Amino acid sequence: MKCRQTIELMTDLVLDARTAAIACQADSSLARLVDEVRRHGGRLWLYAGEITEIRRLLSPDSSLTNIHRKKNSDSVLKEFDDFAQGCCWLAALSADVEHTDDPDPMAVALIKAAERINTDTLILSTEESRLKRGLPFVDELSALSSISQSEIVFVDLKAQQDRIRPQLEAGLHRVLHHGIYINGPEIAQLEYCLADYVGVQHCICVSSGTDALLIAMMALGIKPGDEIITTPFTFFATSEMIAMLGAVPVYVDIDPHTFNIDTSKIEAAFTDKTRAILPVSLYGQCSDMDVINEIAARYKVSVIEDGAQSFGATYKHQPSCSLSDIACTSFFPAKPLGAYGDAGACFTQDAALAQIMRQIRDHGQERRYQSVRLGLNGRMDTIQAVVLLAKMEIFHDELERRQKVAANYHTKLRPLENEGLLVLPRLESYNTSSWAQYTLRVANRDDVQTAMKTRGIPTAIHYPVPLFEQPAYSDNNNKCPETLRAAREVISLPIHPYLRFEEQQEIVVALTESLRDGEEYMKQRNIVSK
């Protein structure tokens, strides 16, 4: 397999009204261009401000009648509707045509709209007057020459944004209109939507998943010297927030199959200073929460579910973030449900806890300038709520797409596991996963990652350094052998709802070749964990 070439990428092409009316016909002169753009992973855009003109051009008495002469008007309009479903739409904004004396105001509007995608986005046109303007207007031949092969990305936020752009633009302009950028009405709307999705009474939107953890522990009264049982195999923020309160993270080793906390070892970690258990649902799969909650009940301590990676997953048919006293999640952009910046949420059934957390996120205020407790500035921006509301509309579909990608990986990579070249992620029978990551075990991981990079395939390591070995608070005496082994062997493949089947196949081929390159080494060392 040859390495992917990294060359200039044409990802976007806007069609003006006339080219759209022509291109939607399968037998038209522009059909080849349309096929080439889509084949190379490009995106076709239509401008909402030209929809009336497009439909006029598709009518029987238009200047394009000769193109459609063999078809009735209903057939022509249906072809356009089918064509438009494969395109992205740019909203028509009043600012697009304001304050212009240009003889072709729609050309100005198209330029402004295209710039909202990217400053170098091309506009396809057949009108001589527009082509004489020069870039961004181009003809068919110029557009074809700009097409190049797309690059596989680890997470494709751009494709997702294309899908919800009209909702995003409408929501953002509502915020710009009402001007309530903190605690705007969209925050309450999102909290209701998220609480309903999870199936709990209370959702408290906050500024990040990290702050969600901090607010949850503050609400439970965690203080200096208290011990919190958690996992050492996760992102730094989990134990960072414990330490920020002066409490002590007590690490319990992981289950080697799920990478989540090993519930059989939790009780041994209890002392008279233990105040809570903080399990992390890693890679999108929930921990065994029934066992954890039962232990917590016996010892009369709280449970905080860290669902930063598992929002959208289920445990025994119950949604993640509904499984403990308080649950926390992150809406970091790369998460299955991600904002366009930092954002997070806390969930609980307890009204008293919910009230305390609402106070803490806003400087401890019960009402303005009346702080009844110590708190922090942990509020979510209204704009992030708009983004998340738009994404919630497609979230179920995106989860299904992630599951299909994971299932395809499983099928394609199973022979390699049977050969002992890798270990696939294991999903417990009572769980579904949000597949925040698709993480394998491989021997000689660093060499495999390098080999994948040379083939143009991005990978990631979640996580290369156990928390007890972080320089900020190293504990070299900690005994967590499974965590240490996982940190040496895990590697995550690209996974997102818009990863095309052809790209998945290319990733599988690249991984197969990378493993084959090191197969003899792996046989000699025999270090992949079964």
Residues 435 and 336 sit within 8 Å (Cβ to Cβ)? yes
Beta-carbon neighbour count of residue 481 at 10 Å?
10
SS (H, E, C) 156-188: CHHHHHHHHHHHHHHHHHHHHHHCCCECCHHHH
Rg (CA), the chain: 27
Report d(CA 190, CA 177) in Å as an integer. Answer: 19
- For residue 363, give both structure tokens: 């400087």
Task: Quote the strand ranges of 258-343, DSSP E.
Answer: 274-278, 302-306, 314-315, 318-319, 326-330
Domain over 395-525 is classified CATH 3.90.1150.10: yes
User: Measured on CA atoms in the order 417, 420, 423, 429, is the torsion positive or negative?
Assistant: positive
In 3D space, the residue among 457, 464, 461, 463 whose CA is nearest the CA of residue 513 turns out to be: 457
What does the pLDDT average to over 344-369? 97
| Residue 259: pLDDT band with limits 50, 70, 90 | very high
Nearest-10 crossing angle of helices 157-178, 185-198:
140
Residue labelled with tokens 């633009």 = 169
β-strand partners of 431: 315
Q: Comparing 72 with 21, which gets the higher pLDDT?
A: 21
| pLDDT digits 0-9 by tens, 467-524 | 999 998 877 678 899 999 999 999 999 999 999 898 999 999 999 999 988 665 445 5
Q: Above 50 in pLDDT, residue 398? A: yes
> Rounded to whole angstroms, what are the CA distances from 329 to 30, 143, 209, 384, 398?
47, 44, 5, 15, 18
pLDDT score of 2: 40
In 3D space, the residue among 214, 59, 405 whose CA is nearest the CA of residue 67 turns out to be: 59
pLDDT score of 6: 33
User: Measured on CA atoms in the order 466, 472, 473, 474, is the torsion positive or negative?
Assistant: positive
| Residue 35: pLDDT band with limits 50, 70, 90 | confident
Which ranges in the chain are annotated with CATH 3.40.640.10?
160-392
Provide, rounded to the nearest whole percent, the portion of the chain with pLDDT above 70: 91
Report d(CA 417, CA 428) in Å as an integer. Answer: 18
What does the pLDDT average to over 20-27? 83
Q: Which CATH class is domain 160-392?
A: alpha beta
Which ranges in the chain are annotated with CATH 3.90.1150.10?
395-525
Q: Write down the number of H helices and E strands in the chain.
A: 19, 19
- The H or E element that residue 145 is part of is helix 140-146
Q: Above 80 in pLDDT, residue 295? A: yes
Q: Comparing 477 with 12, which gets the higher pLDDT?
A: 12
- For residue 17, give both structure tokens: 């009204």
| Residue 25: pLDDT band with limits 50, 70, 90 | confident
| pLDDT digits 0-9 by tens, 400-433 | 999 999 999 999 999 999 999 999 999 999 999 9
| pLDDT digits 0-9 by tens, 50-75 | 999 998 898 887 777 555 555 677 78
Asked if omega into 430 is within 30° of 0 (cis), the reply is no
pLDDT score of 150: 58
Average the pLDDT over each of 87-101, 199-213, 268-282 and give the range with the smallest value. 87-101
Q: Above 80 in pLDDT, residue 232? A: yes
Q: How many CA atoms lie within 13 A of 1 on its CB side?
A: 20
| Residue 78: pLDDT band with limits 50, 70, 90 | confident
pLDDT score of 158: 83
Domain over 12-151 is classified CATH 3.40.47.10: no
Which ranges in the chain are annotated with CATH 3.40.50.1010?
12-151
Report d(CA 320, CA 355) in Å as an integer. Answer: 22
| Residue 265: pLDDT band with limits 50, 70, 90 | very high
What does the pLDDT average to over 340-353? 98
Please provide the average confidence, as pLDDT, over all residues in the chain: 90
| pLDDT digits 0-9 by tens, 125-137 | 999 999 998 889 9
